[in-house]
Amino acid sequence: MANQVYKETQSYRGTWIIYLIILIELPTIILLLTFYLLAEDKAEMGVALTIVAGTMALIFLFIFNLRLETRIDQNGISFKYFPFIRSWRKYPKESIKTITVINYSPITDFGGWGLKGNKTTKAYSITGNQGLLFDVGENKKIMIGTMKAKGLEEYLSTWKEK
């Protein structure tokens, strides 16, 4: 088991959230196209349609491209949350006081998904209610969401021993 690495990538791609956004955006665009076709002033309505459709496309692309990557190896824990955290944040194994896989309530514990936190605890999650919680000292804890809790627990059982 030498030099084993745990990797996980999470995104909204293929989740119910993307389908919900599409179900909301498509009827809106169809309705706006109908208004455009019925409008007397096509130039003004065309500008409005372009602004609304462009904004909706940008929001969709932004959510579609959100990505949380986690990497755990013999050196420590690293993660990045694209596009907010573009380079790897690294925590050496020696600096980690405690580490555990937890079940949590995203809304009541952290105020939802995404980048959340306060002075003592930072949370990075995409979906779900399971995460990796670790204490890096100085009264600072970090929670990284996971969709593979069982695999992570198995990996951590041997990782802690090394």
Q: Does 47 share its domain with 76?
A: no
The DSSP symbol for 94 reads G
Whether 73 is in a domain gets the answer yes
Model pLDDT, residue 1? 46
> Identity (one letter) of the amino acid at 115?
L
Q: Note whether 148 and 89 are same-domain residues.
A: yes
Distance CA 108, CA 89 (A): 26
Q: How many domains is the chain partitioned into structurally? A: 2
On whether both 116 and 142 belong to a single domain, the answer is: yes
Contact 120, 140 (CB under 8 A): yes
Q: Does some domain include residue 50? A: yes
CA distance 70 to 39: 51
pLDDT tens, residue order, the chain (162 aa): 457 899 999 998 888 888 898 899 899 989 988 988 998 888 888 898 899 999 999 999 999 999 999 999 999 999 999 999 999 999 999 999 999 999 999 888 888 888 998 888 899 999 889 999 999 988 899 999 999 999 999 999 888 776
* ∠ Cα 113 51 65 (to 5°): 35
AA letter at 119: K
Residue 77 domain flag: yes
Q: 4 in a domain, yes or no?
A: no
- My answer on whether 148 and 118 are in the same domain is yes
Tell which of 65, 88, 103 closes a domain.
65
Q: Residue 68: enclosing H or E segment and its boundaries?
A: strand 67-73
Query: 49: domain range?
Result: 10-65
Question: In this structure, is residue 3 part of a structural domain?
Answer: no
Domain contains 84:
yes
Same domain assignment for residues 81 and 154: yes
Look up residue 8 and give its two tokens.
């996980």
Task: Please give the structure tokens belonging to residue 92.
Answer: 């050496």
Q: Is residue 22 part of a domain?
A: yes
Q: Are residues 153 and 86 in the same domain?
A: yes
Same domain? For 79 and 55 the reply is no
Contact 115, 134 (CB under 8 A): no
Domain assignment present for residue 152? The answer is: yes
Same domain, residue pair 153 and 85: yes
